[in-house]
Every structure is written in C-alpha cells, then in structure tokens.
A and B are shown apart, each in its own frame.
Chain A
Amino acid sequence: MTETLERRPTVGEERGGQERTSLIGTSAARKEDDRLLRGDGRFTDDVDPLHVLEMAVGRSPYPHARIVSIDVSAALEFEGVRQILVGADVRRMSAPLTVLRPVPGAPKLPYYALAQDVVRYEGEPVVSVVATSRAIAEDALELIDIEYEPIPHVSDVIDAQDPEAPQIHPDLVEGNLMVVNPEGTGDPEARIRSADVVVSGRFRINRVTGLPMETRAIVAEWRPGARELTVHSSTQVPHLVRKQLAEVLGLAESDIRAVASDLGGAYGLKLGIYPEDVLACLHAMALRRPVKWVEDRMEFFRATTHAREATHDYRIAARSDGRIVAITNTYATDMGGWNSGFGSAQLSSVVFTGPYKVSDGYVERRVVLTNKTPIGAYRGYGQPEVNFACERLIDQLARKLGLDPLDVRAANMLRPEDLPWRNPAGAVYDSGDYERCLRMAAEAIGYDAHRAAGRGPRADGRYVGIGLSSFVERTGYASARFLANRGSQYGAHESVTLRANRSGGIDLYTGVSTMGQSSETAFAQIVADVFGCDYDAVKVHAGDTAASPLNTGAFASRTLIAASGALKEASEKLRDKTLRLAAYCLEAPAEDVEIAGAVVRRRDTGASVTLAEVFSRAITGQGIPPEEEPGLESTSHFEPTDAAYSFGTAAALVSVDPETGDFDVERFVMVHDCGVAVNPKIVEGQVRGALVQGLGAALGEELRYDAETGQLVNGTMMDYFAPAAPDVPPIELLHTEVPSPVTTFGVRGVGEVGTIPPAAAIANGICDALADFGVELHTMPLTPEVVWRALQEASR
C-alpha cells in the first residue's frame, strides 16, 4: 500500500522552473531491468580475460599475534603457482592504503595490503598467492608455513578503553582510543541539574554486515608499454578507486582505468579500495598477466568491513510535562583493528537529537580500536544506532512521567515553521512536517484504538504493544567545505556528460556505478524530461572512469541530490544548442521551435526535423549556423547548497508471549518523506528494501566474537541469519512529499532511511506490551531470549 499525499509543499516555496513535467514523478520502467532479467548483467566475476590468473589470500587465524616467520618455499614449488607476496614484498612495492573519510582529529594508522609484523584481527591478509586457478592458489596456501606468536587481544569497545587492556596500535594510539569528537550547544549539564526528570541508559548496538549477495571482486590487467592498468572492480566509487590505487601503487591517475559495471549490491561496503585490490594489481603488474580475485563468502565475513557496533550512553532531561530540556549522548564506536576507507560511522552525532526541538545538547563520539575486522560504512552510517538509543529512551521518559509516548514525541517535535533549524550538532534541517508523519503512522497502526482497548492479555494469551520511532535522516553532504574540514578525500558534487549521437539518441556518461539504486533510470528520466526527448532515447553508460567525468560516487544517499542539478544543467545546455541548430535548419527563430519526442518542430507551421538529423549536422559540422561550433555534448558539475534531511515515523504492532519472550511483529508501518519522488516505484523499493535490512539487524543479525578466543563464531552463510522471504513481517508504506528547498527538483535522499527506525519501533512495541512487567530493552538484536531475560530481570 503506497500513497503519496499532498503533492504541494506545506512549507517553503518552490523555486522557479521546478514545475512538474511529464517524466519526473512517474514510475518509468527501469533501464537496468532487461539485462539483469536475461542474465546479461556484467558483474566483475563475469569478466574473464584471456590468460587470466587467480589470486587467493592467506589470512590470520589469530585476533592478535606477532608474525615470527613465513616459509613459502613449498608453495612456490607447487605446480601452477606463479607468485607469492608477503608483507615485506608489499612494503617494498606499494604505499599504505589511503583513507577516504578519516576520523576527524585522529592519528593516521597506515596499513599495508599485507600484515607487517603484527596481525590485529582474525582474517587480516598475511600472504597472497597467484596461480593458474583459484583452486590451485588455495591448495598452495595450505603449503605456506606461518609461525605466529599470539599476544593478548581485546574484543569489546568498553573493555578496550580499560587502561590495562591490550594495546592495539601502541605506537600511534594511547589506550585504544583513536579520538574523542565532542559537539554541542548550550549548557546541557546545567539544564540536567535543574530538570524535573532525567532518564538515561546504556544501549548496545550489534555488529552486523550489509551482506551484499555479490561479494567483492577485482580483475586487474597491466600493459606496461602503454602504462595502462585496467581494473574491473565491484565498487560504488570507481573514480575514487582510481585515485586510491594511484596513490598506493605509485602510478599517475592517467595510468589507471577503473570500471564498475553491475554491482550485486553494495550498501556502503564497497566504498574505496581494500587490501585485496592492491594485491591483485601488484601481482598483475609483476606478472604482466590479468589477475582475478573474487572474495569467497567465508572471506567476506572476515575481510569486508563490518558495521554498526557501538555503545551509547544516552541521557534525556525533561520537565514534568514531557518537554525535553537537554540531551546528551556519549558513545563508543568500534573501529576494529584498522581504519578502513570510511572508518566507523560518523552520523550518530549529526542527528543525535532526532526530530526534537532541543537547544541544549552535547554529543561525544569515542572511536575505539578492538581486535576485530575493521568497521566501515553501511546504509545508515550511525543513524540507526543513535535512533535506537534516542527513541527507546523517549518511551522510558514517557513511562516515567505517566505520559503517552506519542504525546511526548509530538510535544517536542520541531514544527514546520521552526525550520530551517540548526540542531546542537550543527546540522541544519531544511524543511518538513515531522508531526504529520507521526500522526499518520499512529493512525495507520490503529494507535488510539489500541490505547482505548486497555492493558492485559489478548484472547491467545499474548500481550500486544505498539512502538513508535521517529527520525530525521541526513542525506547528502552539506558542502565540499564541510567535507574539507573533516579531511574527507572527496567532494559533495556530482557530474554528468551528455553526448548526442547520429541515431538521434543521447548517451549519458556517469561515474555513478549501478548497484540496485536505479540511478540509470532516474538519470534518464530527468534528462528526457528536461531535454524533451523520449525516455528510450537516453542510454546510460555508468561506472567507467575512462568514459565519465570525474565525480564523487554512489553513497551517503547523495547521488540524486547532487546529480539532479548536474543532469538538469547539462540537459538544458544540450537542449538550447539543439534548438538553435534545429531553428537554423527549419528557418525559424530558436524560440519558435520545440523538441517533441524524436523531432524538433516549428510551433507555427508544424514543419519538423528529426533529432537524428540535427545531431548529425552537429557532429559533422555540416549545415549548422556559421557562428556555432561543431559537436553536441555538455558536461555539468553540481553541488547542492546543503544536505537535505529526510524524515518520518515508523510504528510496529508487536505481540509478546510473557512466558517465553517469543514475539511477533504483526504489522509494521512506515511513513516517510524524501521530498519530490522522481520515480515513486523506485522510492518504495528503496524504502522497503532498507527496512528489511533494518528488520534483520533488529531481529537477529549479529556478528558475534568469542571474547576468550577473539574468533568470529558465526562467519558463514549458515550461521548469519539475513531475512528470507518468510521472515519479513507485513509492511505498509505511506509517504508525504515536502520538497526540499536545498536541492534541484526538491528531492531528498532515500536509499538508507529504512535501516533507521525498525529496531527502536519494535523494541518500543515489546516494552509497551510488557509495560506491566516493567521491561525495558537496551540491547540489539532483539530476540526472544533477550526479551525472556529482561522479563526474568524485571521480576526480580
């Protein structure tokens, strides 16, 4: 069930020239579908160059150990083995991996593609083998003799901050604490001292993986005479991969072509290079043969960045009427053993006060090292974590004051007229109607009827509760300057090149790779809409650095926010020249001709010329006005004026068996606003898909480490439970549409939002159901065992 309500803005003004035209706002058929439905996608492992060799990587079995010796002699003798690299080789041949999004204020932790003297997590690459087949390379790994001397390790973020804890980077970081990042405004401590009520809690967020169905993969080919390294990579950021590989391999960017065609999911895990990318290139360059590495699923669970793990100490102070006067949040994010390309999540701070009008706030981010797989970006990037803490505690506050959680939310929410609003972390919420989403969610889930029904068990003995979770989500980036202040190695803009061709079509070149987000479709819709041609006439060529303008990439729910401006500008430039050339051809003033599908026609006489004819004239320079240059293409770069903040409320109806802790999410409602939806069907798909990832993390997904051995204990597909089709509760989606004033067309990002509210909404539903038992939940994932233990605890 999808409804789009009130297409007009409730606040702010629409900017000039933004009137809705034919294609923007329609569910156009996806450009990507036909090839993917027919098995004609091109994923990285589908690229099989002649004479390709394959790589396998040997990994540390210990969470923390000194490497005493490595003996590769037997493996080198093995038939089919072509090359073996160890840490010392890599140190000689390459530089440490560069970080795209450093932790502000933290020391650098330079790390090479293979471990040097010490390994810092189970799964860290130690040796790489290239052979005539993957099977032979893996056989050879078995013959490599590595002697380790285990040293004490630490797995937990709180334990790691203990002064007695094993030190993970003792030369660079003291006490395993990489940095403390404080932000805030006002005087929250004074407000807390004088508040009527203060609630606080420690909330533990589980370590999970985004689990794309396609693992990481790379094919590297080197032609030394041409100085050309061609890299096919499953990456969200081909231009940034090119930059990083140039830095690490000591090449010029012009020596590298990175190609990302189809990606089998990414969700933030495929941002920038990993050690294996460097290794495949080093082997390919040394051997002058193509080298392929496809991560197997066992490797994936250890070698691709994990996500989320954090402990939030969250505190809310309020008046007795429920009005919040201050919020503080001190949290430790787990970085794992190294600083990955995007490091640990940074957005828990940015939106820590949620949609609430709070001026006195303080947030402190403590970035902690542990002996575990490095943490990286994952859909939401800190926002699901802090939402769990904030929204759980809002309910506790309401219960403590004897108020309704819905009323407490409504009383504290920013109103449309409060926006734009700078929150205590400095984020500027652009526009929106937060309370409307809350009310719509409550109505859809049957909130009033539930409250009116009173407490007590249902006929089947189960207790029923409703939980709410409201949120504001940052999508996109404030500006290039904002990123520069944080040391980020990329910009806030997006770019596009449009080129007319003699068939009458427009080729669209973008560095945004295709990973399921439907950017090919949305981009083509905007170009066809603004230019005025048929949707089918636009062909998107994505993800090849040799064929696309330099850009930023597909992450942070930012692609369309920035790209829509570039697409609009480039389309207008192309359209204006097309009209001039066609007018010359039709012997009319340019303002009297218009593009209509595949032709340009005179408005007065109806005389027309085909786009194919106009484009051919432009390309040859034959039959164009003397003052015009030949050629017909345009490139535009665009940076939006600020980040855009999506928002909404989720509601979960949950039934619980108080004997066993077993619970069911019987209904789940999501009301969401991402501004103007370019393609409503795609928007629904993005929200729904991310919700199911959020539900997975809420209800069972967790990468568990054994504290004693430091081993990942469930790192296989058999042991990590991502939702299958029968596991998904019924989901109802509702949308509002308040255009954002900071983006072209009024769009906001939509790719990540679904991950944010599920855990808090469900936990609040369980706690509502069990309110008479005094249960409050603070730990993710939410399982019957967790609920049962909380019931036991509460009854003591």
Chain B
Amino acid sequence: MADEVAVTVTINGETVTDRVPARMHAADFLRHRLGLTGTHVGCEQGVCGMCTVLVNGEAVKSCLMFAAQLDGCAVETVESLATGDQLNPLQQAFKDEHGLQCGFCTPGFLMTATALARRGQRLCAAEIREEIAGVLCRCTGYDGIVKAIARHLDETAV
C-alpha cells in the first residue's frame, strides 16, 4: 500500500516529475497532487465521464487509469483550453449556446469535444450525441451541448 511509483508526465505542456502511491488514480493525481481541479470525479467507475482528459491526444476517463500509467504521457486538461482571459472557440460556443448549468460535467464534454474536433470532420446532431454518450449531464438535457459542439465542428472542419 505504501508502494510508490515515480512518474514523469507532460501536463498541459509542462513536464512534471513526482512519486505517487501505486493505487492512486490519474484523476486524483491531477486534482490533489497538481491542483488541476478542473477535472472532476463523479463515479470512479468510468461511467459518468466527469474526469475525461486527453492522454496522448485521446479522450480517456482518468478515474480508470492509475497515475503511474501516465508515465511518459502527454496529458491535456480543461485548464489548457483558454488563453489568458480569452475562452477558446469551443468554450465560447458552450457559453453562447447555454451548454452548461452547474458546470460539473463541462470539463468532460469540453475535452471529449476537443478530441472530436481534431478529427476535422463535421458531424450531424445524432452523430454528436453518440460521440458524447460517455459523458453524462444532469442539468441541460444536452441540447445546448450538442449545439455548441456542432457549431465548433462546423468552424474547425477541414
């Protein structure tokens, strides 16, 4: 239980070296070791998607990874999206479309949509709904989220 593991991770462009308990999951590492509390934890069994971050560009549920598994990886969290006080276009789309209420799920959707947008494809609303099915929202009914992501995909499609 006291076993610790050394990890070196690139988080939002910055290299971090730490020793972590072997059983610590990646979301707890991000939140409570690195202070990146924008990544949330909702179920710790990979269903709700609150803890979704990008690991080597892929959207993953960080409660299902050990911190130790991040060794050598590049991680992106919600804190990486805005520049200074400027929301990025995806964040702005969420704001314009009322894609959030309590905001607890929002980082999960933003990171899922960030990975989606990098594919450079437009998707119809039904396809977007399938793509974001791994993140739950209990406040909005998803309509604003889907609209925001659709708008962003339209803007970023190549």
Contacts and interface: CB of A to CB of B under 8 A. Distances in A.
Interface in B28-74: 31-32, 36-45, 47-48, 50
B140 A263 contact: no
Interface stretch (A30-38, A160-168, A484-492, A592-600): A30-38
Contact of B41 (A45, A265, A688): A45
Given A33-B100, A39-B107, A731-B143, A212 B37 contact: no
Interface in B72-112: 77-79, 81-82, 87, 91, 94-95, 98, 100-107, 110
A718 interface: yes
Interface in A200-229: 210-215
A264 B103 CA distance: 7
Nearest to B146: A725
A682 B144 CA distance: 11
B106 A716 contact: no
Given A38-B82, A39-B77, A215-B42, A724 B136 contact: yes
A135 B105 contact: no
Contacts of A689: 101, 138-141
Nearest to B23: A135
A256 B129 CA distance: 45
Given A39-B79, A297-B42, A688-B140, A263 B95 contact: no
A262 B102 CA distance: 8
A777 interface: no
A34 B102 CA distance: 12
Contacts of A262: 102-104
Nearest to B128: A725
Interface string B1-42: 100000000000000000001010000000110001111111
B15 to A, nearest CB: 20
A38 B141 contact: no
> Among the interface residues B44, B102, B128, which one has the most CB atoms of the partner chain A within 10 A?
B102
A267 B138 CA distance: 10
A214 B42 contact: yes
Nearest to A692: B141
B146 to A, nearest CB: 7
Contacts of A515: 102
A628 interface: no
Given A135-B23, A214-B40, A685-B140, A43 B98 contact: no
A516 B139 contact: yes
Interface in A238-283: 262-267
Contacts of B157: none
A728 interface: yes
A38 B79 contact: yes
Contact of B104 (A34, A214, A717): A214
Contacts of A296: 44
Contacts of B39: 39
B82 A682 contact: no
Interface in A607-642: none
Contacts of A722: 136, 138
B38 A40 contact: yes
Contacts of B78: 37-39
B36 A39 contact: yes
B133 interface: yes
Contacts of B47: 717-718
Interface residues of A, number: 57
B117 interface: no
A139 interface: yes
B38 A39 contact: yes
A264 B43 CA distance: 13
A267 B103 CA distance: 14
A36 B106 contact: yes
A265 B82 contact: no
Interface class of chain B by DSSP: loop
B133 A724 contact: yes
A34 B86 CA distance: 9
Contacts of B87: 34, 37-38
A16 interface: no
Given A32-B103, A717-B45, A38 B81 contact: yes
A34 B85 CA distance: 9
A266 B103 CA distance: 12
Contact of A36 (B103, B132, B134, B146): B103
B45 A516 contact: no
A297 B43 contact: yes
A684 B38 contact: no
Contact of A213 (B98, B137, B145): B137
A644 B110 CA distance: 38
A29 B95 CA distance: 7
Contacts of A681: 98
B82 A37 contact: yes
A159 interface: no
A691 interface: yes
Contacts of B48: 213, 297, 717
Interface string A10-38: 00000000000000000001101111111
Contact of B110 (A37, A297, A517, A693): A37
A725 B132 contact: yes
A685 B142 CA distance: 10
Interface string A28-62: 01101111111111110110100000000000000
Contact of B133 (A29, A265, A726): A726
B129 A726 contact: yes
B140 A30 contact: no
Given A32-B103, A516-B102, A717-B43, 6 more contacts: A213-B104, A213-B105, A265-B138, A297-B44, A689-B138, A691-B141
24 contacts: A36-B102, A36-B103, A37-B81, A37-B82, A37-B100, A38-B81, A39-B39, A39-B77, A39-B79, A45-B37, A45-B41, A135-B21, A139-B1, A210-B138, A212-B138, A264-B104, A516-B103, A684-B98, A688-B140, A689-B139, A692-B142, A717-B45, A725-B130, A726-B133
